[in-house]
Structure formats: structure tokens, C-alpha cells
């Protein structure tokens, strides 16, 4: 039979239907392979299944033409359809065929434009990652990118991704270990950057003090706190301190500064791929403890870290115990730190009454408007408060603190007093807090 019956596929005897059917008038040349690929989903042990899959991979990514020493690709509509079919053909043959395609591509690299090779390599690589995320080649490539702190965007408006992190689909222990290692390095780099800024500020302060000392003929010993910064400053010429010398002192280089900016990415990836890993949670707890004791303690950093741990399913008891211990330690903790810890606890235990009571008591003392508004929005009603439901949808795009405070004030008055209320003008959170007792008094009369 020289060609397939154009009216029906039944009884088609074309001997190469499963590979190529160039003589068929009814099909495009790729269609028999596409049909055969769908058939091997039901019959994965078909003797020619690997050959069929290889053909689909060729349609998806192209092939190297040895005669012309160049990479050939199919038309776009064929490539698109071939990749769709490849997703349905979930057999072990797909992993092998795609990996073999990568090997062929690497061998052909010397004949190709670098940009074309790079685009094609990532296209094939991420496909292999989806089919076999534990493939040794995939795992080793990902570990290499993670080690270098690599980070780039796929530039896809409809499906944006941070590569390679958003594409990691495996809880492979080696990848988890490398991410954990880089998380620690990233945090240490953040700490070093803070030290550098502290030194720079101290140098500026010293310059002013030396100027004043010279002017007033006073002695000045130039001592710094903490002591480790004092030791580092002694090696510096305060008059001519350069950025690279400061970086050298705190062990910052281009790579470590880059890695410092990857902390949130490392955190997000670890909490996604290893939510039940106790060692991962313990690592975050240790970072939180170190941050708590750091002279440059950053509340927003800790709050964001604790918030990300909400996705962790491992046992959080150690974290809860640590926060409760700090919350009840009256010897060194001030109101600000106490509110910080209480806010962390509410992220983990929304019904923690000790934390709620502390925030209720400390809220009027908080001077940070941003923190004050955030805490006020999360407090649960108690026997000392009057729950009030207000509509704040109008504030979803507002960023000005004064405008936010005034709108909240307006809503409180309009909700509480329905008949022509005289609304107080407020510019900040402390002013907003001061009107609450007035409203309570009015409600009681």
C-alpha cells in the first residue's frame, strides 16, 4: 500500500506509520509520530516507543544537521504541538531522549551562535527538569547555579518566574543542603553589610568629633562601640576611607554582596520544597536567634522571616518556646522589643493571649507609625476593647501614612456615629490612638 486512505485510517497498512509517513497524502509528515506518541501512553512497552519519543523530541527542539553543520528547527506550530504531546507522553523514554538531546546540543555548541545555543539549552533543560527533576544532570546544574547565587527572570508576562529557584521541583537532599548553605552565607553577608554601614556612620561621626576637638582644643580618644568595630577602625584612615577598604574589612566582595540579596529567594524556595523538613526549620530558628542578639537587630527582617515560616509544617515548638522566653524576660527587653516578639508569636499562634495583652498594653507607647497601624489591625477584641467593623477597601492602594490615619479615623466616626459626626483631624498614628478614648467616652454617655 503506497498511501493511507484519505477517507479513513482504519486498515492503514503503511509500514512506517509509527515513524514517518512521507507518502501519506492525508497527513502532514509529523502527524503519524504524534498519533503514535499518544498510542504509547496506553502501550508504553511498544517496541518502537523510544524511536517515536525521539522523533517528538526532535520536533520539539530541533536536531543537528551534520551535513550542513547547523541546528535545524521545525516550524513553530509543529514545535508547539510536539511539546504539548510530549507532556502527555509520560514515559521513562522521554527523560532519556531529552537528556540525549542536551548532550547532542553541547557537542554542537562550537557550530552555533552563543545566544541561540543558550536559549535552546535552557528550553531543553527546563523541559528535562519537569519530566525528571531528580535527574543527576539537572540536580548538579541547579546546585551550581545556587552556589553562584545565580538569579534571572524568564521574562514571561503571563507566567513570570525567578530562575532557577521557581523551577526547582524536587526535595532532593543535595539541593536542600546547598540552599541551606547559601541561606547561611546570605545572612552572614547581610550582617557584614550592616557592619560596614555602621563603620561608615562611625567614621563620619569621628570626623565631626575630630573637627570639634580641634576647634575646642579637647582630647578625643576615638574609641568605638562595639569593640570589634573599634579594632577594625584602627586600621583605617578615617579621613580617606574608601569603599573597597571597608568591604575588605568586613569581608564583603562582589559575590557576597550579590548573595546577600538572595536571602528572600533562598527562604522562599526552602519553605516551598522542604515544608516538613525539621532541619530546615531549625536553621531558620538559629538565624532568628542570631538576629535577636545582633547589635543591628532588624525587626522588619525578623517579621518577614517569621511570616515565611507559616508555610513550614515541621514542629515549631522550639520557636514558640524561644519567643515566649523572650516575651517574658523583664530584665533586658524594652517595650519595642516586647512588641516585636508578640507580633512574631501572633504569626504562629493567633490566639496567644499573652502576646495579645502585651500588644494591647504597649500599643499607645509605640512611636513607629507603620508598626503601630500593623499591630492595631491584628489585635483581637478583648474584654477591654469594643470590636468595630469598618470598610478600608479605599486604602488598598494608599501609601501615605497621614492619609491612611485620616481615612481610618473617618471610618471609625462614620461607623460609630451615623448622624452628622464631627470628625477629628489626625496626621499620624499617635493622634489616631488618642481619639479612641474620646469615642469610648461618647459611647458610654
What is the three-class DSSP state of 310?
A: helix
- Residue 133 confidence (pLDDT) above 90: yes
How far apart are alpha carbons 234 and 252 in whole angstroms?
18
More confident residue, 440 or 370: 370
What φ, ψ does residue 134 adopt, rounded to 5°?
Answer: -100, 10
What's the grid cell of residue 240? 580617606
What count of other Cβ atoms lies within 10 Å of the Cβ of residue 62?
A: 20
What count of other Cβ atoms lies within 10 Å of the Cβ of residue 50?
A: 16
Region 89-115 average pLDDT = 90
* pLDDT band for position 99 (cuts 50, 70, 90): very high
Q: What pLDDT, on the 0 to 100 scale, is given for residue 98?
A: 95
pLDDT digits (tens, 9 = 90+) for 243-256: 777 777 777 788 88
Return all residues near 370 (Cβ < 8 A) that are at least 6 apart. 401
More confident residue, 2 or 114: 114
* pLDDT band for position 376 (cuts 50, 70, 90): confident
* pLDDT band for position 162 (cuts 50, 70, 90): confident
pLDDT digits (tens, 9 = 90+) for 414-439: 777 656 677 888 888 878 877 777 77
Write down the mean pLDDT value for the chain. 78
Q: What pLDDT, on the 0 to 100 scale, is given for residue 400?
A: 83
What is the three-class DSSP state of 65?
A: strand
Q: What pLDDT, on the 0 to 100 scale, is given for residue 36?
A: 78
Q: How far is CA 301 from the centre of its chain?
A: 14
How far apart are alpha carbons 227 and 293 in whole angstroms?
15
Report the b/e string of 329-352 with b at 16+ CB within 10 A: eeeeeeeebbbbbbbbbbbbbeeb
Amino acid at each position: 500500500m503506497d498511501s493511507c486512505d484519505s477517507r479513513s485510517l482504519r486498515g492503514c497498512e503503511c509500514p512506517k506509520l509509527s515513524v514517518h509517513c512521507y507518502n501519506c497524502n492525508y497527513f502532514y509528515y509529523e502527524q503519524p509520530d504524534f498519533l503514535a506518541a499518544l498510542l504509547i501512553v496506553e502501550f508504553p512497552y511498544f517496541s518502537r516507543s523510544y524511536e517515536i519519543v525521539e522523533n517528538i523530541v526532535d520536533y520539539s527542539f530541533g536536531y543537528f544537521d551534520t551535513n550542513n553543520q547547523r541546528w535545524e528547527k521545525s516550524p513553530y506550530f509543529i514545535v508547539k504541538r510536539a511539546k504539548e504531546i510530549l507532556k502527555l507522553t509520560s514515559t521513562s523514554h522521554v527523560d532519556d531522549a531529552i537528556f540525549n538531546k542536551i548532550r547532542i546540543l553541547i557537542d554542537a555548541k562550537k557550530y552555533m551562535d552563543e545566544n541561540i545555543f543558550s536559549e535552546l539549552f535552557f528550553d531543553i533543560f527546563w523541559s528535562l527538569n519537569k519530566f525528571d527533576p531528580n535527574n543527576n544532570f539537572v540536580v548538579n546544574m541547579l546546585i551550581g547555579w545556587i552556589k553562584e547565587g545565580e538569579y534571572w527572570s524568564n521574562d514571561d508576562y503571563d507566567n513570570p518566574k525567578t530562575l532557577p529557584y521557581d523551577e526547582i521541583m524536587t526535595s532532593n537532599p543535595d539541593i536542600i543542603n546547598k540552599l541551606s548553605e547559601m541561606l547561611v552565607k546570605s545572612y552572614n553577608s547581610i550582617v557584614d553589610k550592616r557592619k560596614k554601614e555602621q563603620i561608615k556612620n562611625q567614621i563620619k561621626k569621628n570626623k565631626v568629633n575630630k573637627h570639634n576637638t580641634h576647634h575646642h582644643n579637647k582630647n578625643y580618644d576615638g574609641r568605638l562601640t562595639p569593640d570589634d568595630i573599634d579594632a577594625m577602625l584602627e586600621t583605617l584612615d578615617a579621613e580617606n576611607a574608601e569603599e573597597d577598604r571597608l568591604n575588605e574589612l568586613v569581608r564583603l566582595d562582589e559575590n557576597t554582596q550579590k548573595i546577600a540579596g538572595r536571602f528572600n529567594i533562598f527562604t522562599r524556595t526552602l519553605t516551598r520544597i522542604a515544608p516538613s523538613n525539621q532541619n530546615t526549620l531549625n536553621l531558620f530558628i538559629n538565624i532568628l536567634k542570631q538576629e535577636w542578639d545582633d547589635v543591628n537587630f532588624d525587626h522588619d527582617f525578623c517579621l518577614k522571616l517569621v511570616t515565611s515560616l507559616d508555610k513550614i509544617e515541621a514542629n515549631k515548638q522550639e520557636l514558640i518556646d524561644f519567643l515566649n522566653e523572650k516575651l517574658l524576660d523583664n530584665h533586658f527587653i524594652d517595650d519595642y522589643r516586647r512588641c516585636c516578639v508578640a507580633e512574631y508569636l501572633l504569626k504562629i499562634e493567633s490566639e496567644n493571649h499573652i502576646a495579645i495583652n502585651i500588644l494591647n498594653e504597649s500599643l499607645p507607647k509605640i512611636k513607629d507609625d507603620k508598626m503601630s497601624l500593623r499591630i492595631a489591625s491584628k489585635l483581637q477584641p478583648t474584654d477591654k476593647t469594643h470590636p468595630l467593623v469598618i470598610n478600608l477597601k479605599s486604602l488598598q492602594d494608599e501609601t501615605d501614612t497621614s492619609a491612611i490615619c485620616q481615612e481610618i479615623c473617618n471610618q471609625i466616626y462614620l461607623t460609630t456615629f451615623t448622624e452628622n459626626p464631627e470628625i477629628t483631624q489626625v496626621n499620624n498614628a499617635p493622634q489616631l490612638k488618642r481619639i479612641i478614648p474620646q469615642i469610648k467616652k461618647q459611647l458610654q454617655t
